[in-house]
Structure 1
Amino acid sequence: MDFGSHTTDGSQDRGRNDFFQLHQRIVSAPVDFGAIRSEFGLASEYPTEAVSDARDAVDAFAGTRVDRTDIEFVTIDPPSALDLDQALHIERTPTGFTLHYAIADLGAVIVPGSALAAEAEVRGQTYYLPDGNVPLHPTVLSEGAASLLPGVDRPVALWTIELDNDAAPTSFSVTRALVRSRVRFDYAQVQAAADAGTLPPSLTALPEFGRLRIEAGLDRGAISLRLPAQEVIADGDGWRLRLEPRTEADDWNEQVSLLTGMCAARIMLEHNGIGLLRTMPPPPQRAIDSMRRTAAALGVEWPAEVSVGRMLAGLDANTSAALVLMSEATGLLRGASYTLLAELDDPTPQQLTHSAIGAPYAHVTAPLRRLADRFTTEICLAHGAGVDMPQWVVDGLKTAAETMRRTDAVANKVDRACVDLTEATVLQPRVGTDFAAVVLREATDSRPAEIFVGEPPILARCAGRPPEGRDVAVRLAVADPATRTIGFEYDGSRR
């Protein structure tokens, strides 16, 4: 969730949120993330044999690929990213849109049973820490030979998706191809070009496509949260927290990946056999009922026929009520997992659906960073080519799903630990200081209140009984880097 607009250089205009400004800016502080790597057993060095496999990797399908180097693909990624999984080209047609989406073809360069394959199946995914990544694959592959860097030919799984004027897919296919990305963009650059009306031809149709797909998602019952995303960034010799910049371009680009994942899920379900979906159960009715009570208490109008997702999308993100309701909505989006189709005898639609997306969905667009995507992409390619499923997919899919479940949990804990350590380190000198906050959830007999502090951006627990949805002053009671804990208190006397 944004507290104001973002400029193209990532800085913020906080608008109404002068409330969140302190008289003295919170400075950065030195933070050592090495202990977190050790705590979670994150191996920084790749085994020598696996690195050799990556360095010697060759395209197993060279010479048989469709040559689509004529398409002027571009990539959109964070500024510092080098592991570029996807390149896209989208154009308006007389009947709608044509989307070409190229995904790095890891299944073609990783030899089944090799040391590289074995190590990737243990790691599961890339872990992102503020001071550097712990990659799924050796960087010579993930940031080099397999990355869709501009100006070089790369083997890919190429999705071609035809859509109508409402951006609903009318046909889709995937095949092995050779492509060449022309330009590497970051989100701020795409947003600036969109605002100025200077998007390159490869992306001119992206804003319209993105907005139509977002609207289609709301029609499906999709739920998208705009909560503050904490980000730890380097600041001189130390580290500090900020709200992660997010632009409309992020949302448009996200819709490309979501659409592709939905098409992949349809391919797997149509063939009624081997497949791996990313699923999430529907929220319990009691949680929705609780949100409706909260909305009523905050004075937010929510007609009975309006879905959760559409209600949230209609909120002014720069209000305390929006922050409270989106915080409570996180309780609706729980239980995400990886579902093996082979393990379901007679699945219900709910078992096959990702409730936050409002449709069946599969991860297929980040194989450089996520193990599952290499398997699911290979499944779709096999169906598209009408060939037998590779034995390494059949034999390894269940293990891949188990690895993803395990490593997702670790990745979430690593992310949280890095933020918690930074919070406690940066705030330690300010124990006893008052901060402005919004109360997200009031205290109950079983849990303390939850608050959001705007500067530095922190979600935290608070002792006392601050009123839900109100702007309050709280005092920092504890900040302990050793335990990675912070705590605030409220007594109602400060303004």
Structure 2
Amino acid sequence: MSSIQVAGDVPARLEDGFTRVAREAGLPGAFPRAVLDEAEWVAEVPRLPGKDLTDLPFVTVDPPGSMDLDQALHLERLRGGFRVWYAVADVGAFVRPGGAVDREARERGETVYLPTGSVPLHPRVLSEGAASLLPGAARPAAVWRIDLDAEGRLVGADVQRALVRSRERLDYAYVQAAVDTGTADATLGLLAEIGALRVRLERERGGVTLPTPEQEVVFAGGGYRLAYRLPLPAEAWNAQISLLTGMAAAAMMLDAEIGVLRVLPPPRQDDLDKVRRVAAALDVPWPDGASYGQVVHGLDPKVPRQAAFLQESRVLLRGAGYVAFDGAPPALADHAAVGAPYAHVTAPLRRLVDRYATEVCLAVAAGEPVPVEVEKALEELPALMTASGRRAGTVERACVDLVEAFALRDRLGESFDATVIDVTARGDGGQVQLADPAVIARCDGALPLGERVTVRLTRADPATREVRFTLA
């Protein structure tokens, strides 16, 4: 794995920089005393459901060290298909509408992650304690039961409140190794099988999952480093179960004519035409009749021209947002990257909108009216989530920029091998991606898109978090 390493004797300066990033972004600080007091109280007296599903052997699959465990799953093979049991932390069992925790969560919108830790949506006594689906503990949950046919297509879905108990906390590497070595138990083996079926269906309906490496800040060995990380297949399988649940939730809300959806408009024709021209220029195959999603599924980000195409084509995925409705379904109900209507319901410990969407689905599934306080809140959610999402994205990019600038600050004038992944319309520069160290930054000069080049570092300023190169 290519990475950029920051020596272990300087993390204090970087941590000061992360603190400045949080301050500039307006991230909230410590929870007010009233919020903490209420959280500690409700953690002891949640509204427990009457249904008991603690006999189902749920497991969680998350990044190593995660404590805010939103989802647990158990998978079964049926005659002619599959059953997905998907338990989602029931935050509504703890958070009182209009209470101090609820009001504070509406201010925060979502958990924001920094290399030094997180700024959580809810006090940790809830998000990493009483409401988290930690192994061995009985927890209230919204439990989805989703039936699929033998091809992985949705047959039916239901959701109800129930008590669950996760048997084990697993991480992606463990799941991948178990599947690869043939030692996976029934649920993990079915996760690979169902996940692969759902990936194939995603391609059929024109959904898009970009096979691009993530650039992330990692703390290891007493210092920080930037690394490119390609997600494991196990992460894609797990994500498909979450997507499946979100699609089932969206269908349920659309049928009931009330709810909140995550939407993405289809790409504009001029953007699509531009991306097709880029594909032709970079020799990226785009067969007649193939959708954008079908094209990108077969690409390899380690191939320079394909990496450049993946970067350039991101323009087709811009404009995601939320839409609330109470009555006729919205004009735009689909999420273009999912290839179907979709809703966020699987991360309520970390994202405000999921709690409200889940409450709508629980009411609809039970044949009951949506609670008045939930119905009233729907209209405000799109603006709240747009603002919090923008803030979280700004923080993530600023932290990466800071580590890049800090690690390269003493290497001005050095040359590096890079791939050109973006060029400006004026042709006077663009973005380059270095293989080692793991940096993506602005570069000046007449850059050949999709080609390997040698670049020279001209600027690396931790104060402004700016890194800049020029063609060597």
Change beyond 3 A, Cα 1:246–1:330 = same
Structure 1 Cα separation of the partners of residues 411 and 76 of structure 2: 53
Matched, 1:317 2:298: no
Structure 2 Cα separation of the partners of residues 52 and 96 of structure 1: 47
Give 1:78 shift: 0.7
Change beyond 3 A, Cα 1:394–1:424 = same
1:484 partner amino acid: R
1:352-367 alignment, distance < 5 Å: 352-367=333-348
The 8 Å contact of residues 378 and 393 in structure 1, kept in 2 or not, is answered as: yes
1:148 partner amino acid: L
1:307-456 alignment, distance < 5 Å: 307-342=291-326, 347-348=330-331, 351-445=332-426, 448-456=429-437
1:110 partner amino acid: V
The 8 Å contact of residues 110 and 120 in structure 2, kept in 1 or not, is answered as: yes
The 8 Å contact of residues 443 and 464 in structure 1, kept in 2 or not, is answered as: no
Give 1:454 shift: 1.3
Structure 1 Cα separation of the partners of residues 423 and 376 of structure 2: 50
Structure 1 Cα separation of the partners of residues 140 and 45 of structure 2: 7
Matched, 1:278 2:259: no
The 8 Å contact of residues 59 and 108 in structure 1, kept in 2 or not, is answered as: no
Give 1:51 shift: 0.9
Deviations 1:151-172 (A, max 9, x none): 0100000000000001001010
2:210 partner amino acid: L
1:16-55 alignment, distance < 5 Å: 26-28=5-7, 30=11, 31-32=14-15, 33-55=18-40
Using the size of structure 1 for normalisation, the TM-score is: 0.91
Matched, 1:193 2:185: no
Helix, strand or coil: the match of 1:410? helix
Helix, strand or coil: the match of 2:379? helix
Unaligned runs of 5+ in 2: none
Match of 1:76 in 2: 61
Match of 1:259 in 2: 244
Helix, strand or coil: the match of 2:382? helix
Match of 1:469 in 2: 450
The 8 Å contact of residues 415 and 455 in structure 2, kept in 1 or not, is answered as: yes
Helix, strand or coil: the match of 2:335? coil
Deviations 1:307-341 (A, max 9, x none): 11111111233211220111012111011111012
Give 1:393 shift: 0.2
Structure 2 Cα separation of the partners of residues 141 and 89 of structure 1: 23
Helix, strand or coil: the match of 2:294? helix
Give 1:394 shift: 1.5
Give 1:252 shift: 0.1
Give 1:404 shift: 0.7
Of 83, 95, 112 in structure 2, the residue corresponding to residue 127 of structure 1 is 112
Match of 2:96 in 1: 111
The 8 Å contact of residues 265 and 361 in structure 1, kept in 2 or not, is answered as: yes
Structure 2 Cα separation of the partners of residues 317 and 444 of structure 1: 23
Structure 1 Cα separation of the partners of residues 260 and 188 of structure 2: 31
Helix, strand or coil: the match of 2:359? helix
The 8 Å contact of residues 212 and 230 in structure 2, kept in 1 or not, is answered as: no
Of 286, 290, 295 in structure 2, the residue corresponding to residue 306 of structure 1 is 290
Give 1:367 shift: 0.3
Deviations 1:378-398 (A, max 9, x none): 000001111121121012222
The 8 Å contact of residues 91 and 203 in structure 1, kept in 2 or not, is answered as: no
Helix, strand or coil: the match of 2:410? helix
2:467 partner amino acid: I
Match of 1:165 in 2: 150
The 8 Å contact of residues 208 and 292 in structure 2, kept in 1 or not, is answered as: yes
Give 1:478 shift: 0.2
Change beyond 3 A, Cα 1:447–1:331 = farther
1:400 partner amino acid: L
Structure 1 Cα separation of the partners of residues 455 and 157 of structure 2: 54
Give 1:60 shift: 5.3
Match of 2:235 in 1: 250
Helix, strand or coil: the match of 2:457? strand
Structure 2 Cα separation of the partners of residues 37 and 90 of structure 1: 40
300-309 or 428-437: which moved more? Answer: 300-309
The 8 Å contact of residues 225 and 326 in structure 1, kept in 2 or not, is answered as: yes
Deviations 1:183-205 (A, max 9, x none): 00011110011101111222220
Helix, strand or coil: the match of 2:203? helix
What's the RMSD between the two structures over aligned residues?
Answer: 1.6
Match of 2:220 in 1: 235
The 8 Å contact of residues 254 and 329 in structure 2, kept in 1 or not, is answered as: no
Structure 1 Cα separation of the partners of residues 424 and 335 of structure 2: 31
1:203-214 alignment, distance < 5 Å: 203-214=188-199
Give 1:27 shift: 4.3
The 8 Å contact of residues 229 and 243 in structure 1, kept in 2 or not, is answered as: yes
2:289 partner amino acid: E
Of 177, 189, 202 in structure 1, the residue corresponding to residue 187 of structure 2 is 202
Helix, strand or coil: the match of 2:409? helix
Structure 1 Cα separation of the partners of residues 432 and 191 of structure 2: 37
Using the size of structure 2 for normalisation, the TM-score is: 0.95
The 8 Å contact of residues 323 and 440 in structure 1, kept in 2 or not, is answered as: yes
Give 1:45 shift: 0.8
2:36 partner amino acid: V
The 8 Å contact of residues 106 and 368 in structure 1, kept in 2 or not, is answered as: yes
2:278 partner amino acid: T
Unaligned runs of 5+ in 1: 1-11, 15-20
Of 151, 156, 172 in structure 1, the residue corresponding to residue 141 of structure 2 is 156
284-293 or 250-259: which moved more? Answer: 284-293
The 8 Å contact of residues 418 and 434 in structure 2, kept in 1 or not, is answered as: yes
2:293 partner amino acid: G
